[in-house]
Amino acid sequence: MAPHLFRVGSLLVDRDRWISSATVAVRRGRIVGLAAGDAAGRRLARKAGGAVADLGPGVLAPGWVDAHAHLELGALHGRLPARAFGAWVGQLVKARAACSREELRAGLRADADRLLAGGTTAVGDNDALGLAAGLLRRHPLRARVFREALDAGDPARTSAVLRRVQPGRPAPRLAFGVAPHAPFTVSPTLARRLATLARRRRLPLSIHFAESRDERQWLLRGTGPLARLMPGESPRREGLELLEEAGLLGRRTLLVHANLPGPGDRERIQRAGATVVHCPGSHRWFRRPAFDLAGWLEAGVPVALGTDSSASNAELDMGREVALAAEAHPAVDVAVLLDCATRAGAEALGLGTGRLTEGAPLDAYLTEARVRSRRAALELLVRGRPGIRAVLIGGERAWDDGSQVVPAILRP
């Protein structure tokens, strides 16, 4: 079966490799050949046999990987004024309860479409309402849906929660995971049983961790704004200790936020091989103190980026997230930031994407702007928020700006 071939101004494979005048061969959605320069491109086309489509002078870049979203909260976009975490949680619960299933579904689709149009090709999505998998099964985005579990310390809820979080039927672009909501909202029994489920079914875990001062105050002392909302007793322990004890900390764990780790947490997380997920837009929304990105990276902890939800972010756009990270952390190299927003997230989500290497699925977006070097490509993609002409997922056109620069179907 002849592959599809196309030529593009340049192609960024990953943080380290940029190809000028690139030709790409794609078969069954995966990259099967890459050539640098026109002569090598003609040889690849002759060998593969087939016409070459020209995608123009822009950059073909690895699609963004949003390692943490709550697409089901799309309906709340722009509706929650609070910036203090405790008050925001209360508003969120009320506003979500006031939405019909239809509104929630429409919001979910709108947020998935927003992500896609911004060049995101894969998402790790927390699902508490049971709506996400049904929609994402029919959406071009590649997704890992983490079923969210929370019993607020009430043992009477544990069994029902466990039934609800069982993984669904996977699809070519849809996989499942488990999201114990946070160390302070999951009882020790539920935490242990979720760890067993994840181990048996080989599912990754996504956990909100050390997000706010309020959370830490309640976990360690049982005081602060969350004391009013939490029905049970404070464990008077560090969140990470609770996760470790339950068996929830390992290589397939994503720790979301990690704004306020306890003493020694960073080293324990590094040893466990877990990934930290930073959400720059949500961080700014709650006006949190500076995130220690350089500290995590220096400690050897992989850091992925995420959008969090439309209830705590002004936009759902990974290009904006990486630009916000670059603005807040000017000393961190743009190559490292690109890696956080692509490969690191993809590896943590276990999706086999995040780089445009041979054998990988062609999950990419195409920019309008052209560049003349790897450095210029990294600067453009990370800080420049370039206009996007088209988005490809699994070698198929998933979105375009109306220009139809990419042929409709690149399969087989």
Site of interaction with Zn ion (CB under 5 A): 308
Query: Quick one: which of 59, 64, 178 has its CA closest to 114?
Result: 64
Q: State how far the Cα of 279 lies from the Cα of 313, in Å rounded to an integer.
A: 9
User: What is the residue whose two structure tokens read 């890992």?
Assistant: 144
Least CB distance from residue 54 to Zn ion, whole Å? Answer: 41
Q: Which is nearer to Zn ion, 26 or 349 (CB)?
A: 349
Distance, CA of 243 to CA of 231 (rounded, Å) = 20
Dist CA 355 CA 402 (whole Å): 26
- 66 versus 308: smaller Cβ distance to Zn ion: 308
**In this complex, which beta carbon is closest to Zn ion, that of residue 308 or of residue 400?**
308
Q: How far lies 113's CA from each of 74, 169, 280, 311, in Å?
A: 11, 23, 20, 16
Instruction: Check if the beta carbon of residue 142 is closer than 8 Å to that of residue 171.
Output: no
The CB-of-408 to Zn ion minimum distance in angstroms stands at: 35
Between residues 308 and 363, which has the closer beta carbon with respect to Zn ion?
Answer: 308
The two structure tokens encoding residue 157: 């809820």
Residue 173 Ramachandran class (φ > 0 left, ψ -120 to 50 alpha, else beta): alpha
Q: How far is the CB of 58 from Zn ion (least distance, A)?
A: 33
Structure tokens at 229: 């909302």
Minimal CB distance residue for Zn ion: 308
Contact status, residue 355 vs residue 14, Cβ threshold 8 Å: yes
Shortest gap between Cβ of 306 and Zn ion (angstroms)?
A: 8
CB 208 to Zn ion: min, Å:
5
Give yes or no for a contact between 55 and 388, defined as CB atoms under 8 angstroms apart: no
Beta carbon of residue 122, minimum distance to Zn ion (angstroms, whole number) = 17
For the CB of residue 143, give the shortest distance to Zn ion in the complex, in Å: 15
Number of C-beta neighbours around residue 156 at 10 A:
7
Nearest to Zn ion of 125, 308 (CB atom): 308
Question: Is the previous residue joined to 412 through a cis bond, with omega within 30 degrees of 0?
Answer: yes
Residue closer to Zn ion by CB (options 174, 256) is: 256
The nearest distance, CB 257 to Zn ion, in angstroms, is 8
- Nearest approach in angstroms of CB 166 to Zn ion is 21
**Closer to Zn ion by Cβ: residue 187 or 309:** 309
Alpha helix ranges (H) inside 63-184: 85-97, 101-117, 132-136, 158-164
Q: State the distance between the two ends of the chain, measured CA to CA, in whole angstroms.
A: 8
Closest to Zn ion by CB, 308 vs 321, is: 308
Distances (CA, A) of 337 to 65, 163, 293, 385: 12, 38, 10, 14
Residue 219 token pair: 């976990």
